[in-house]
Structure 1
Amino acid sequence: MKTWYHSWRAAIRIARRDAWRFKGRSFLVLAMLALPILGVSAADLTLRSAELSPAQALERDLGGADARVNDPRLGGAALLQDPKADSYAPEGDYDDKPWPDGETDVKAAIPANAKSIVDAEGRAKLRTTHGLLNTQIRELKATDPTAEGIMRLDRGHFPRKADEVAATNAFLESSGLRVGSELTAHGLDATYRIVGAYELPNSLGDAQVNALPGALLAPLDKALAAAELPGTQTSTTYLVSVPGDAGFTWNMVKESNKKGVTVVSRAVTLNPPADSDVPYYKENPPYSGGGSDNTTELAILSTVVGLAMLEICLLAGPAFAVGARRSRRQLGLVGANGGDRHHIRAIVLSGGLVIGAVAAVVGTALGIALTFALQPVLEDWMGKRFGDFDLRPLELIGIALIAVVTGLLAAIVPAVTASRQSVVASLTGRRGVRRSSRVLPILGLSAVVLGAGIALYGSTVSDQVALVGGGSALAELGVVALTPALVGLFGRIGRWLPLSPRLALRDAVRNRGRTAPAVAAVLAAVAGTVAVATYASSSEAQERAEYTASLPHGAVAILSPESAADVPSIRDDVQKLLPTEVRADVDRVVVGKRNCSGYGGGDECGRYEIVLPEAHECPLWSYDNTGEDPASKFSKAERRKLATDWRCSNQRGGVGNGAGDILIGDAKLLKVLKIDDPAAEKALANGQAVSFLNRNINPAGAHDKDAGDAAKGGARGGAVLTQGGPKAGSEGTIDIRMISAADMDAADAASMAGKEPPGTVTSIPARQISAGQNAYGVTMIVPPDAARKAGFTTVPLGAFFSTERLPSDAQEQKLNSELAKTGGDVWLTVEKGFTPENSTTLLALAVFAGLITIGAAGIATGLAQADAEADLKTLAAVGAPPRVRKALSGFQCGVVAAMGVLLGSASGILPAIGLRFTERRAQDQVYARMLDEGWAGGSESTAPFVPVVIPWETLGVLLIAVPLGAAVLAALVTRSRGALARRAAI
């Protein structure tokens, strides 16, 4: 008795022999199925290997220690923490008393019987072969067993003496030094020798230098403090090992918390206590996200896998269909010898099963081998070492099964088609007359309409981005279902084409079962590319519009806010090494000693501030002695109106924001900033300051009582009574208050109470700059003569330069090397304009889509040639020249590519537009909420700009270059003459 087992066994044997007989077609399908498996299995193995277990992560953080004890700088106050020490808070109620602050005696919090070593980190400028490099310094005795695992030695040895250091490979590469080189730090006379190179397993790209505790950071801090140079900011933790196997228990952690420190414990992290045993959670319950993120990730992953399987099926399906047609005589013999339809279906399906199984094994094996071979490259690309080479058999088997399932799915339609063909037609080679499905176009059109409607609803009404993606995917599937009907419509243009393209188009229309899947595969690839390219182009346009230039394009600014003595030399360095044109020197105002900044700092330094006229104060920023938020005094409508009021506007960002409110300069600075205002130049020449913020200036007659009373009434009532402020070109004065070091505390207290702070107020004549000028953050320019008349103390700050052309990278690097010799903190800005980050992405997408398109079109062309060999021989028999064969092959490939690219471009724009509309709606909601709450003065008061930009360049490459390239390539690889055919027996 024959069972299903025997019939399937025979079918698999026939399919295996058939696959081996037609090696070219089998290899083509095998490659299509195996390549995705290779990529997914390699990605799974890479991600799993890079994903550290808790024990591995602790080894890289704690080494061989049981815990890391840290000072949270709460002044030793008792605190509560979560088990991982990610969050902590002082114990008790601090709502009505100041938050504890200050250093803690960490050693007193370490158990008495424990062993501890210091792990200190700071930054310093180290001298390299190129100049100075700001580098992380880590003082840790790496040879101690407690620190084993934190650093991995590559060559040489770790420091053993105080004058020895080790360095990471990243530091050696960027500094130009090597093991054996001498190393010095800026401001320190001591010399150290590099005795080893190591790496940080979690941060391969970090430039770091290791020294023994107390060997580098402490001498460097002392030397810099003596030279009055900026020192290092050192953070110190302790690696602690306790006796016994229990490790640093949760009870020990809570005891240490009472002494004001936080603890990262290996034992607690690996075996955390119950939430009920964590006192910190009583006031701060742990957050539970509910798994929505995992659900979203799973949905995205499922969609990607589904689309990938669909595309493979669309490409592999025609191959099985052609294989079934070329084996139709063999299938007819099966039917003639008693086989029924399900036997024929089993034979064709077995072809997909056999090739899918082989593809699963080959793809998985190659993925594992490739990942193992490229492990160092992958680790360098990811910036960290693998934990283990983590093979997970169940995941790899599941990935491999995708190839088997995909092979079966790709063979379903050809199997059903072959089983419906009569035995007589199979044996005689006649295909019969086949009608196109009338149901499929209706289903496709319905899916397009429904999907577009869902995407539109998701982008304009709902906040669910998944609706946009789901609706777009449904619409794309609808277009795929419509592809056979659309291919038929394309055939109507054949009457106007020459012979070869007309034959190619008619062949594509006549054999829609072969053409439509290839067109659909091209459609799917191009649609995804166009969607991503449209979204990326739109995002780039938004980023370009939101980009705030620091200076005019190509301009250069050099500022030294810490050391005025270095300014003359750095000005000359810039002018000597860069292609500069106009040089505008600027000074700054100091209050107190000449090394003070304009904003205070130090026991002998005061500050200055611009005194706003009372009528110009922003009501949303005007605090009084009650401490109440000023915005709460206004209604929502009033806050919306005030948020865009001129009194509440800030200057745009730029270099000027970091240079201080007052720059001492002349009209050359206007030229560098590209501000063409003859009246402003004349004002500076006449000793008047130029103001770029209209709220700073007191127009003539603005101090009268009526204006002040009106401003007060407008502030309380929310009405904007001073519309627009001083007009461009108006003249008046600017009041500047000088607050000495002795009055700093009193001034801060007065400001908090809403009172006038102490200090000397000086008025200087000023002119309002014309509206619409971008000053790049510069608040106002005061000419040197006016500064001297006002009694200001000034010191050199730097210079602004316009350039003949944009400085090259080599010129900028050479300048940085010269500036490093000064040893001071110098700010160099070269405005290079907006640099899009997506250009490479768009190019890569276009290349990817082009390869997929050419590949899919090439597959369709190869299948067409195999399927239509008799027609080609007929053309040769009736006298067609050899070039017709090449031309026909090229046009067949070009027709498939052109149809797929055209339909894919139209399909891909929909999801991108939907996502951009969703983002626009979300940003409009944020903007409206900002206005309701009274946020003003910055980008919050500007309506969001979320454009939709079509990437015409990418579309042009896809629509023109790709089909043309596919056609030319197909024509070149096609032989001019085919094999001679024997006369068929009559």
Structure 2
Amino acid sequence: MIALPIMGVSAADITVRSSELTKQQQVTRDIGAADARLGSGGMGHRPLVQSPVNEEALPADQKQDESEQARDEADSDVDPRTAIPAGARWITDQSTYARIRTRSGLLDTSVRELKADDPIAAGIVDLDRGRFPRSPDEMIATQALLKSSGLHVDSLVRVRGFDRAYRIVGAYDLPSELGVEELTALPGAFIAGYTSAMKAAGSAYEGQNGPPSYLVSLPGGYSWPMVMHANSLGVVVESREVRLHPPARADVPFYRVAKTSTGVVQTGVQKAETVAAPVTVGALAILEVCLLAGPAFAVGARRSRRQLGLVGANGGDRRHIRAIVLSGGLVIGVVAAVTGTLLGLALTALLRGWLEEYVGKRFGGLALRPLELAAIAGLAVLTGLLAAVVPAVNASRQSVLSSLTGRRGVRHAGRVMPVIGLGAVCLGTGIAVFGSTRTDSVMVVGLGSGVAELGVVALTPVLVGAFGRFGRWLPTAPRLALRDAVRNRGRTAPAVAAVLAAVAGSVAVATYAASQDRQDHDAYTARAPRGVYAVSSGSDGGRELGAVRAAVEKHFPVSGRADVSRLVYGPRTCEPHSYQSGCGGFELQVPTANQCPSERVDDPTQLSLAERRSFATDWRCAYGGGQVAMDTEGDVTVGGPAVLHALGIRDGAAERALARGETVLFDRRYDDHGSLRLRLITDMAKQQTDDRTPSGEVRTVPVHVAGERTPYGLVAVMPRQAALAAGFRTVPFGSYYTTSRMPSGAQQQALAGALANFGSDAETYLEKGYQSKNHLVLLALSIFAGLVTVGAAGIATGLAQADAEPDLKTLAAIGAAPGVRRRLSGFQCGLIAAMGVVLGSLAGVLPAIGLRRAQLREEWSTYHTAVDNGWGRADSLPHVPIVVPWGTLVLLMLAVPLGATLLAAAVTRARPQLTRRADG
């Protein structure tokens, strides 16, 4: 029982340390054997400053005029090769996105150009089988891509819209990103030709190429002064020398500039989420080891009482008996430490491949930290000694006569420990409440929860006695088992406490996980009702929509359809909101009275504190939008009442308004006394590059303001007749489909393949709703708690059988059926499990509630800071729900005790074993 937890802790330590790469290993995976990777900073030719740790970059001049900044960003990106020193050797690294044909249809994937077998790139990719590309028509693929696409080494891969085929000659992994789906070709073998083909076809995939970066090998390395020189040219550098030997903080301009800019910092909330589960589980796991080992040593001492009695009969005193029992604990602790550590190492080595897949990256090697493993082994030795203390003291107090005859004597319950336990519960609860309501410290909450947990453990004997009152309503076998457990609390209480600790830890983490899952669920913004499928195509004026709609209705379980169009302003040769020269567009105007006051000033902190705080309750400052399933551009969707039906919007007044030809407005910020104002833009291309372009004509459209606030990001729905009356054209754009059931993965791939057959560039979106992953966590916690509960209850049952062997023999002697022994053993185990599960469930909720309350307090603190700075919004109030996982609790309270009962009954011998009279 000591070796198994030590094995688990050792395996966890080795796994965590092995997954933590050294700086050298991480740099090698990022830039291979190169001395530096150079890339564009994305700010044109503007000088910048960067962090030496993670290559985060900021403009060197934060006070630059916005118009000048816009011109710089519109300028072409800087060529990183301008920062490559003379005499250096370099290779390119560039990626793009493409759709490849698979066995089931189409798959969006990344295609990379890199000479992966070049010595400079050594370490970036890990070739598993096959070979690297040698010619322009060869590629290698990641294991993840081969698995999802159904392709294999030596397959031909074809890219949609590109007439070239490539042969896959090898399979590889990215050591730090095992789940990435990627193809890699030689430089110049794919991106240039594919980009030209997409540009000629007018595809949306054109222009999605990532900027090239350059892996540079340079004698002497790329120093920090060289990095700062490259920054002055607008180039960001990832340097091996700088990463391994960072410069002094005073020599890094980035830190001075970052103080005046907005940065992302890990808040107390994020820290709580990071450490809550490990701290809770770790503390309770240590307690678990101690509590499980105590009853196990008590079993051994109880079975050895005759031998200990013989020691006393031959002149040994209490010191000798205590030394014998403690020495046994020491020996067992040392053996458990060595065995558990070796088993943990073997288990990690055996499961290394699976663990790497689970973590998502390759280990740098099996990292053994001698001091940490020695501390874990020391815990085993200390546990063995501590667990043997109470049995040693009890054994030394036994008289020689009672030890030799097997008489147990009269046991009295202690009165001091329950008082200490009650005080610890009150103190721990007070600390946890204080930590969650008055401070932002997760450690205070954890400390209070741990103290309260220990108090409950100390109160376990009293609580076990309280359970004895239920015996009068139980049948014979469970009544005898319960009374035996109550009479012998010295062996029952530690086992119940062990079960309590295991269940409390599992319930605490399960409650926290379920609460976080509810918070994520509430924060999830759906783009449409679950099961709604949106498909749109803006190319060629929507001429391919007929074929697209036919394909959708053939492959999907469609139950309804709502067609939508887009508003168009400008020549008929222009696409909607096209940025070609001479093509127009429009934008919605927010009336001045409806603008949030913070939007009227450059710096909200210039306003008074009272004004800034008022924004939090001002409806004009609330953001009620969200992402849309179909982006019509311009925030206006042309359609009728069917659009509302498809999106599940039940608003009779809005439906009647659309039927009458009125525009329905969902965002009341745009409401200008019953009308919607649209400012025309005569030249979108000129507007994009010059903010000083004079405003165009403003057209007004009468609107009906709906009660619902921007459902699924919908701002306005305009009937076609209203659009024509306002002087706009409409172009078919797409459809919303409602489905009778969620389309399967095979149906989705079949539809993607069908759309590819006629070269459609349609954009699609299927709303699947919030996808929770915590059900696996809750199931794993339930299984863990169940196994530990059965183990602890089994130990207590073995101790009960050792203690009650004379009673069982008496039952057999007076004619009790053989099954009585099985039933009694089963109910002893089941009752211990039931008591521990009930108490652990009640005790485990406290840490989770405390941690969630601390998180809520931290979020409110962050929110109030944002409000005081003028950025607080009424629709962004902190929301930290507390959810009790009733399913997990019911599973623990019912299934675990029942399983323990049946298992104990099954492994117990029905007939007593014949022994010598002196043992009985």
Same fold (TM over 0.5): yes
Q: Which amino acid aligns with 2:582?
A: E
What do the CA deviations read for 1:505-538 (whole angstroms, capped 9, x no partner)?
1111111111000000011111112222222333
Higher mean C-alpha deviation, range 688-697 or range 925-934: 925-934
C-alpha separation in 2, matches of 1:601 and 1:901? 66
What do the CA deviations read for 1:176-219 (whole angstroms, capped 9, x no partner)?
22222223333322332222222222222222222222121111
C-alpha separation in 2, matches of 1:897 and 1:274? 58
Taking a change above 3 Å as real, the CA distance of residues 55 and 593 of structure 1, as seen in their structure-2 partners, is farther
Residue 888 of structure 2 is matched in structure 1 by 954
Shift of 1:465: 1.8
Given that residues 101 and 159 in structure 2 are in contact (C-alpha distance below 8 angstroms), is that contact kept between their aligned partners in structure 1?
yes
Taking a change above 3 Å as real, the CA distance of residues 557 and 361 of structure 1, as seen in their structure-2 partners, is same
Residue 377 of structure 1 is matched in structure 2 by 354
C-alpha separation in 1, matches of 2:623 and 2:278? 45
Residue 784 of structure 2 is matched in structure 1 by 848
Given that residues 115 and 186 in structure 2 are in contact (C-alpha distance below 8 angstroms), is that contact kept between their aligned partners in structure 1?
yes
Alignment of 1:278-289 (within 5 A): 278=252
Residue 591 of structure 1 is matched in structure 2 by 569
Given that residues 458 and 467 in structure 1 are in contact (C-alpha distance below 8 angstroms), is that contact kept between their aligned partners in structure 2?
yes
Given that residues 743 and 758 in structure 1 are in contact (C-alpha distance below 8 angstroms), is that contact kept between their aligned partners in structure 2?
no
Of 534, 537, 558, 1:580 maps to 558
Q: Which amino acid aligns with 1:377?
A: W
Structure 1: stretches of 5+ with no match in the other structure: 1-31, 703-731, 752-756
Of 524, 529, 541, 2:506 maps to 529
Of 91, 111, 115, 1:117 maps to 91
C-alpha separation in 1, matches of 2:15 and 2:5? 15
Residue 453 of structure 1 is matched in structure 2 by 430
Q: Which amino acid aligns with 1:761?
A: V
Shift of 1:614: 4.6
What do the CA deviations read for 1:40-61 (whole angstroms, capped 9, x no partner)?
2222222333322222223223
Q: Answer yes or no: is 1:803 the counterpart of 2:739.
A: yes
Residue 745 of structure 1 is matched in structure 2 by 687
Of 730, 734, 740, 2:676 maps to 734
C-alpha separation in 2, matches of 1:972 and 1:497? 21
Given that residues 279 and 446 in structure 2 are in contact (C-alpha distance below 8 angstroms), is that contact kept between their aligned partners in structure 1?
no
Taking a change above 3 Å as real, the CA distance of residues 673 and 114 of structure 1, as seen in their structure-2 partners, is closer
Alignment of 1:383-782 (within 5 A): 383-561=360-538, 564-592=542-570, 599=577, 601-615=579-593, 617-620=594-597, 622-623=599-600, 628-629=602-603, 632-633=606-607, 635-655=608-628, 658-660=631-633, 661-698=635-672, 702=673, 732-741=674-683, 745=687, 749=691, 758-769=695-706, 771-772=707-708, 775-782=711-718
Q: Which amino acid aligns with 1:734?
A: L
C-alpha separation in 2, matches of 1:780 and 1:560? 20
C-alpha separation in 2, matches of 1:301 and 1:131? 43
C-alpha separation in 1, matches of 2:276 and 2:316? 43
What do the CA deviations read for 1:879-922 (whole angstroms, capped 9, x no partner)?
22222212211221122112111211211122222222223333
Given that residues 747 and 758 in structure 1 are in contact (C-alpha distance below 8 angstroms), is that contact kept between their aligned partners in structure 2?
no
C-alpha separation in 2, matches of 1:385 and 1:568? 48
Q: Describe the SS at the equivalent of 1:119.
A: strand
Shift of 1:593: 5.1
Q: Answer yes or no: is 1:235 the counterpart of 2:211.
A: yes
Of 889, 906, 920, 1:972 maps to 906
What do the CA deviations read for 1:751-772 (whole angstroms, capped 9, x no partner)?
9xxxxx6223333333233x24
Shift of 1:74: 4.5
Residue 36 of structure 1 is matched in structure 2 by 5
Number of residue equivalences: 908
Q: Which amino acid aligns with 1:684?
A: L
C-alpha separation in 2, matches of 1:340 and 1:66? 73
C-alpha separation in 2, matches of 1:571 and 1:651? 31
C-alpha separation in 1, matches of 2:582 and 2:750? 37
Shift of 1:405: 1.6
Q: Which amino acid aligns with 1:737?
A: R
Shift of 1:478: 0.5
C-alpha separation in 2, matches of 1:251 and 1:697? 56
Q: Which amino acid aligns with 1:327?
A: S
Given that residues 548 and 652 in structure 1 are in contact (C-alpha distance below 8 angstroms), is that contact kept between their aligned partners in structure 2?
no
Q: Answer yes or no: is 1:830 the counterpart of 2:830.
A: no
C-alpha separation in 2, matches of 1:798 and 1:761? 27
Q: Answer yes or no: is 1:352 the counterpart of 2:352.
A: no
C-alpha separation in 2, matches of 1:746 and 1:936? 30
Shift of 1:450: 0.7
Shift of 1:138: 1.7
Q: Describe the SS at the equivalent of 1:592.
A: coil
C-alpha separation in 1, matches of 2:161 and 2:482? 78
Q: Which amino acid aligns with 1:977?
A: R
C-alpha separation in 1, matches of 2:281 and 2:170? 47
What do the CA deviations read for 1:458-491 (whole angstroms, capped 9, x no partner)?
1112222222111111111101101112212222
Taking a change above 3 Å as real, the CA distance of residues 298 and 326 of structure 1, as seen in their structure-2 partners, is same
Aligned-residue identity in percent: 53
C-alpha separation in 2, matches of 1:479 and 1:507? 22
Shift of 1:257: 4.5
Shift of 1:442: 0.5
Shift of 1:281: 5.7
What do the CA deviations read for 1:719-753 (whole angstroms, capped 9, x no partner)?
xxxxxxxxxxxxx44332221107953997469xx
C-alpha separation in 1, matches of 2:507 and 2:555? 45
Shift of 1:455: 1.0
Of 180, 205, 215, 2:154 maps to 180
Q: Describe the SS at the equivalent of 2:202.
A: coil
C-alpha separation in 1, matches of 2:597 and 2:680? 25
> If the length of structure 1 is used for normalisation, what is the TM-score?
0.85
Q: Answer yes or no: is 1:160 the counterpart of 2:134.
A: yes
Taking a change above 3 Å as real, the CA distance of residues 264 and 590 of structure 1, as seen in their structure-2 partners, is same
Coordinate RMSD, CA, aligned: 3.3
C-alpha separation in 2, matches of 1:463 and 1:318? 39
C-alpha separation in 1, matches of 2:276 and 2:835? 30
Residue 203 of structure 1 is matched in structure 2 by 177
Alignment of 1:297-316 (within 5 A): 304-316=281-293
Taking a change above 3 Å as real, the CA distance of residues 775 and 860 of structure 1, as seen in their structure-2 partners, is same
Q: Describe the SS at the equivalent of 1:434.
A: coil
Given that residues 557 and 829 in structure 1 are in contact (C-alpha distance below 8 angstroms), is that contact kept between their aligned partners in structure 2?
yes
> If the length of structure 2 is used for normalisation, what is the TM-score?
0.91
What do the CA deviations read for 1:580-599 (whole angstroms, capped 9, x no partner)?
22211100112335586655
C-alpha separation in 2, matches of 1:767 and 1:749? 32
Q: Answer yes or no: is 1:941 the counterpart of 2:863.
A: no
Of 807, 824, 831, 1:888 maps to 824
Taking a change above 3 Å as real, the CA distance of residues 132 and 301 of structure 1, as seen in their structure-2 partners, is closer
C-alpha separation in 2, matches of 1:391 and 1:969? 38
Q: Describe the SS at the equivalent of 1:776.
A: helix
Q: Describe the SS at the equivalent of 1:655.
A: coil
Taking a change above 3 Å as real, the CA distance of residues 392 and 288 of structure 1, as seen in their structure-2 partners, is farther
Q: Answer yes or no: is 1:65 the counterpart of 2:34.
A: yes
Residue 925 of structure 1 is matched in structure 2 by 861
Taking a change above 3 Å as real, the CA distance of residues 925 and 697 of structure 1, as seen in their structure-2 partners, is same
